[in-house]
Structure 1
Amino acid sequence: MIARMREVRPHRVVVIKGDGLDERFWDALGDTPRILWLYDDLHRHDYTDEFLRQVGPVVDYARSETDMLRARGVDAHFVPNAFDPHRSEPTSRRTDEIVFIGSGYANRKEPLTHLAEHDLPVHAWGRDFSRHPFDRARTFSWSRPPIAASREVPLERAYQIHAEGAAAVAIHGLQNGHAMRTFEIPGMGGVRLVDRDDVDQFYEVGTEVAVWHDREELLDLARRALQDRAWGRGCEKPAGAAPSPSTPSIIASRRSIRCGRTDPPQLPGALAGMAEHTEPRPPGEARRHQCGALASRHASRCPA
């Protein structure tokens, strides 16, 4: 990596996570302008406050962590995670399933199992759910929740699964920021059932996303998504079309979400243009938010 960097001699560098890099990399980077991008909780990274103060601008996916880092003297900026439209492939297939893709933490298995115990068609993808012998071996666990399950899929296929399902469940738990799924599900025109009230930074709750607070509320929303497809499928309308007043839609048109734009402030000085980031908007003022770092970059591709 160091040899390649010396060969290319980049003008600017974005380091993603980077906690596996040692002093040799940072020494070779020298004075090259850089951004360190942390798209996961800070406690999952092996960094000291002293290092983060010296490394240069740090972008963090959680507003609370950004504020904390600033209080510690770090040049920190809030950048939400993202949906990448370049990796999406359209799909017209639809399934009557409540879908979930991701790791099988206990706080995720429990609500999904609750849905299945009430005879809802739940389907989960991931090594922690898969009953394949190899996945059981590499997770050191034979036990699996009693729900339909499949092996891991490429990101492009995961995008399609979110669009095809009756609804996709997003479960964060104790995560400080919003995971990629927050933006990927609506980015593909999927119906999203999420466990975070602060999603109203990016989407209009009740119109573009449904929020649940406990497993019974999730059960009610999942049932509605299965029984009343019109409630969730405003994305089938032409771009910009308003949902029928008599049938509130939980998500707006697919193209509208993808092509939503904001006016993100730029990082100062030599780093201008290296990262585009979106500040949250007050509830009720949220427009369709494609995803912090990507929104303005692709705005020129969106229809007027």
Structure 2
Amino acid sequence: MKVLLVSPVFHGYWSAFASALEALDLDVAVHCYDTAGRVGNALAHRYESSGVADRVRGTATAATIAALADADPDAVLVVKGDFLGADWWDALAASRARSALWLYDELSRMTYDDATLGSVGRVFSYSPDDTRTLRARGLDADVLPDGFDSLTAFTPRPSERVSFVGSRYPARARLLHVLADAGEPVEAYGREWSRNPWDVLRTRQWRSAGVPAHRDIDRSTYYGVMAGSVATLNIHGDGHDGLSMRTYEAPGVGALQLVDRPDVAQHYDVGTETLVFRSDDELVELVRRARRDPVWASGIREAGRRRTLAEHTLVHRMRKVRAAWA
């Protein structure tokens, strides 16, 4: 089966999705629809109703339609895809290809209507709530959680710090300060935390978060950071029903994950495969226990990695997508 993967660049995850499909003996062509230029894409997202946004989206849509014609695939997997215009969805529906759409964000943050979603063979969402909503509206929808890229090699980077990798939100900065104020060393990775002049200019984060910070790092590197840290934080905050990639990546690399979502229990055994904190005090205590009881921490790391490799890799996720095309 020849598959066209249509994906945003999104921190290079397109390559992980493609590799997972290829691991299932599928012939994969890739089109990243938001590569027209960082400045144009940033303006299109920031000024969604502007003429600039319309032109950027129009160019991206035309290029994606051309990629569909060039690939002539048996099946198409669109990841997120709400940046693309109606002409793309019409072209996809008119093609002979089977199709699937994978949403890794909440519907409330996107601009889809039921007619567009209904034109796709199967809609997958990382959000159980959104999946129930779509089904109630008569759409063919199923839950497809995020997963761990088990095909990317990494080298652990030992550190006595608690790590956080991801976007800078006030709730995340606050929790890093909670740990730092309790005497626990922390570090954050990502352009919004970085004090590099270019990062400050493009993110407009004029004030430092007040914690040790580093620039963006690629997936292999941050896998090593998480694996080598005394513990790694996974902070979702409010407004997210689905569980993030990090939920599976952290235990997948053998990290000691501290996550703020008790519903992670639907995928991992809390206390033996991953750890959940429900308060500031509990977060501090879990980190301190990890330091004073490395055997306990190691057991959780090993069990979480085994569970992830058995059930929660991107290959597992793509197997479910392939089954929808059967």
Please say whether Structure 1 and Structure 2 have the same fold, judged by a TM-score greater than 0.5: yes
Structure 2 match to 1:294: 316
Question: Any stretches of 5+ residues in structure 2 without a counterpart?
Answer: 1-63, 320-326
Answer yes or no: is the 8 Å Cα contact 2:106–2:127 preserved in 1: yes
Higher helix share: 2
Which amino acid counterpart does residue 138 of structure 1 have in structure 2?
R
Instruction: Give the whole-Å Cα distance in 1 for the aligned partners of 2:226 and 2:305.
Output: 15
- Contact kept? 2:272, 2:303, Cα under 8 Å: no
Q: Find the residue that maps to 1:14 and give its secondary structure.
A: strand
Say yes or no: does 1:9 pair with 2:72: yes
Q: Which residue of 2 aligns with 1:164?
A: 228
Task: Give me the TM-score of the superposition, normalised by structure 1.
Answer: 0.79
Runs of 4+ that moved beyond 4 A: none
Once residues 173 and 137 of structure 2 are traced to their aligned partners in structure 1, the CA distance between those partners, rounded to angstroms, is 36
CA positional deviation for 1:296: 8.3
Give the equivalent residue in structure 1 for 2:109.
Answer: 44
Aligned length: 254
Cα-Cα RMSD: 1.9
- The residue aligned with 1:275 is none
Change in CA separation of 1:135 and 1:292 when aligned onto 2, cut-off 3 Å: closer
The answer to whether the 8 A contact 2:232-2:250 is kept is yes
Query: For 1:63, which of 118, 122, 128 is the aligned residue?
Result: 128
Q: What is the TM-score normalised by the length of structure 2?
A: 0.73
Which residue in 1 is equivalent to 2:148? 83
> Could you say if the C-alpha distance between residues 258 and 210 of structure 1 is closer, same or farther in structure 2, counting changes exceeding 3 Å?
closer
Which runs of no fewer than 5 residues in structure 1 stay unpaired?
235-249, 261-288, 298-304
- 1:120 corresponds, among 184, 189, 199, to 184
What's the % identity of the aligned pairs?
Answer: 40
Separation in 2 of the partners of 1:26 and 1:133? 40
Q: What code does the residue aligned with 2:107 have?
A: L
Q: 1:90–1:253: structure 2 CA closer, same or farther, 3 Å change rule? A: farther
Give the alignment of 1:227-246 within 5 angstroms. Answer: 227-234=292-299
* Equivalent-residue separation in structure 1 for 2:266 and 2:213 (angstroms): 32
- Cα offsets for 1:173-232 (capped at 9, x unmatched): 121100000000000000000011111111110000111112221111112222322221
Instruction: Tell me how far 1:28 sits from its aligned partner.
Output: 2.2
CA contact under 8 A between 1:79 and 1:293: conserved in structure 2? no
Show CA shifts across 1:3-44 (max 9, x none): 232122000000001111112222222142100110112222
Cα deviations by residue, 1:251-287 (Å, 9 ceiling, x for unpaired): 3347623531xxxxxxxxxxxxxxxxxxxxxxxxxxx
